[in-house]
Amino acid sequence: VQLQASGGGLVQIGGSLRLSCAASGSEINDMGWYRQTPAKARELVANITSGGVGGYGDPVKGRFTIYRDNVQNTVYLQMDGLKPEDTGVYYCYVRYMRYVGQPDGSVRPYENLYWGPGTLVTVSS
What confidence score (pLDDT) does residue 125 get? Answer: 84
- Where b means 16+ CB within 10 Å and e means fewer, 60-92 reads beeebbbebeeeebbbbbbbeebeeebbbbbbb
pLDDT in tens, 12-49: 999 999 999 999 888 899 999 999 998 888 999 999 99
Report the percent of the chain where pLDDT is more than 70.
100
**Mean pLDDT, rounded, for 72-94:** 96
What's the Rg (C-alpha) of the chain?
16
pLDDT tens sequence across 40-74: 889 999 999 999 999 999 999 999 999 999 999 99
State residue 1's pLDDT score: 77
DSSP 31: E
Average pLDDT, the chain: 94
Nearest CA to 51 out of 22, 79, 30 is that of 30
CA 118 to chain centre: 11
In angstroms, the CA 50 to CA 95 distance is: 10
- The 10s digit of each residue's pLDDT in 108-117 is 999 999 999 9
Please give the angle made by the CA atoms of 89, 112 and 101, to the nearest 5 degrees: 160
Using alpha carbons, select from 100, 101, 114 the residue that is nearest to residue 28.
Answer: 114
Please tell me the predicted confidence (pLDDT) of residue 59. Answer: 96
